[in-house]
Amino acid sequence: MTEYAEDVHVQTRAVHITATPPVGSIPAAVPLYQTSLFTFDDLGEFSNAWAKTGGAFTYSRFGNPTTKAFEDTIAKMESGSSAMATASGMGAISAVLLSLLRTGDHVIAQRGLYGGVFSLLADLTERWGIEVTYIDAEDPREVEKACRATTKILYLETIANPMGHVCDLPSFAAAARAQNLITVVDNTFASPVLCQPLRHGADVVVHSTTKYIGGHADVVGGIVVVDDGTVAEKIWSFGAELGASADPFAAWLSIRGLQTLPVRMRVHCENARTIAERLAVHPKVCEVHWPGLPDHRSHEIATELLSDFGGVFAFDLRGGMQASHDFTKRIRVAALAPSLGGVSTTVLHPASISHSGMDENALDAAGIKPGTLRIAVGLEHVEDLWSDLEQALA
Ligand SMILES: *Cc1c(COP(=O)(O)O)cnc(C)c1O
């Protein structure tokens, strides 16, 4: 801020506070630039920055130093060239779909998608005439079969919710490329620690950073990562027009979470392995859907694609709906709650919560039963967690 006379009034003094930028030393943590706008000394520099040629920050919906630190780091972790942090995971997904699609376009999407995306696609169909074909994502030939002249996007999830289905991403991305489609992958469940979809042929990666990247159940956010500059420009400019941008404080909290992501993921996966293996032999449980188990239908491809198998999975209780009610009433260490990826364990009933938008046929096709529960394994001591689940099953 420009220097001005010392003899200003108390009101002006109170309003115009300047922080001295550190000189000769660097803050160890990324500073939080909780500012919506930036000031300039020179109109020429301002107009250059506004036209995005100067590169200076102008207004935080278009860019902010704290948010950019988060974006640049995730872009590198995902092997992309740039990233855009958004206000939520759905903000990221909406920005991608709305910037790459127009009326009459067609999307091929994996069945059993995150519920919010399923509803968004249904709305886009009804209101904007965007058509969707759902595939099982078991055989890459499904892409060519479903493809039309108007198809623009193949939409997949690295580890699908809640049954842990992992598709053969390299083959699906190659099949999409052969048809000139853009492959979008939701990498929320794997995080960049377990998988980097851009390395396997994906064009766009999206995350709900609310989950593992934030990691502490205290921030809602999302991010889009792209390697191709033309695709990035389309998404960044439309995303900013939509107002999908992240708030700097949310980005700052996400940075704080991100620093421990690899360590947390290791424990989430280790704890999930112990719980999955014990549930798999428990008499009250008929099936466990963790892709790390050798009899899971995606085990082979998951072993090739992921460095570990994640912390979220579903399991089926023998007693159906009543057993689901009893179990969720008795848990004490694990909490009955939506969401996942935080430090503490959460359990939910997909048929009545995350997948309640599906009718009976769709639930059946997705393998979700009245006795199916989803657990997002946290960072508690695994024996405390197991004792809790064991007493809840008794
Ligand atoms: C939670 C979630 C989303 C949506 O993210 P929000 O941050 O809640 O908007 C999208 N995809 C997956 C896989 C999720 O788990």
341 and 269, same domain (yes or no)? yes
pLDDT of residue 343: 98
- Ligand 1 midpoint to CA 194 (Å): 17
Q: Is residue 204 part of a domain?
A: yes
330 and 198, same domain (yes or no)? no
183 and 305, same domain (yes or no)? no
Q: Is residue 28 part of a domain?
A: no
Across-strand partners of 156? 185
232 and 266, same domain (yes or no)? no
Q: Is the CB of 92 under 6 A from ligand 1?
A: no
Q: Is residue 339 part of a domain?
A: yes
* 328-374 pLDDT per residue, tens: 999 999 999 999 999 999 999 999 988 888 888 888 888 999 999 99
Q: Is residue 165 part of a domain?
A: yes
275 and 235, same domain (yes or no)? no
The CATH number of whichever domain residue 222 belongs to comes to: 3.40.640.10
110 and 241, same domain (yes or no)? yes
pLDDT tens sequence for the chain (394 residues): 456 667 899 999 999 998 898 999 999 999 999 999 999 999 999 999 999 766 899 999 999 999 999 999 999 999 999 999 999 999 999 999 999 999 999 999 998 888 899 999 999 999 999 999 999 999 999 999 999 999 999 999 999 988 999 999 999 999 999 999 999 999 999 999 999 999 999 999 999 999 999 999 999 999 999 999 999 999 999 999 999 999 999 999 999 999 999 999 999 999 999 999 999 999 999 999 999 999 999 999 999 999 999 999 999 999 999 999 999 999 999 999 999 999 999 999 999 988 888 888 888 888 999 999 999 999 999 999 999 999 999 9
Q: Is the CB of 115 under 6 A from ligand 1?
A: no
Domain that holds residue 224: 43-258
H-type alpha helices, the chain: 10-15, 43-50, 65-77, 89-100, 115-128, 141-146, 169-178, 191-194, 229-242, 248-258, 261-280, 299-305, 320-330, 360-366, 382-393
Residues designated catalytic:
61, 114, 186, 211
Pocket test for ligand 1, best of 157, 208, 348 (most atoms within 8 A of CB): 208
- Ligand 1 midpoint to CA 192 (Å): 15
Among 258, 279, 306, which residue terminates a domain?
258
Q: Is the CB of 159 under 6 A from ligand 1?
A: no
This model's pTM is above 0.75 = yes
214 and 305, same domain (yes or no)? no
* Tally of domains in the chain: 2
Q: Is the CB of 187 under 6 A from ligand 1?
A: no
249 and 340, same domain (yes or no)? no
Q: Is residue 14 part of a domain?
A: no
Distance CA 78, CA 113 (A): 21
Average pLDDT, the chain: 95
Q: Is residue 16 part of a domain?
A: no
Q: Is residue 2 part of a domain?
A: no
Distance CA 286, CA 211 (A): 28
Distance CA 146, CA 61 (A): 38
107 and 194, same domain (yes or no)? yes
273 and 343, same domain (yes or no)? yes
Instruction: Give the SS3 label for residue 346.
Output: strand
Q: Is residue 49 part of a domain?
A: yes
* 181-228 pLDDT per residue, tens: 999 999 999 999 999 999 999 999 999 999 999 999 999 999 999 999
Measured CA to CA in angstroms, residue 339 lies from 217, 225, 228, 324, 377 at distances of: 8, 22, 31, 18, 11
The CATH number of whichever domain residue 367 belongs to comes to: 3.90.1150.10
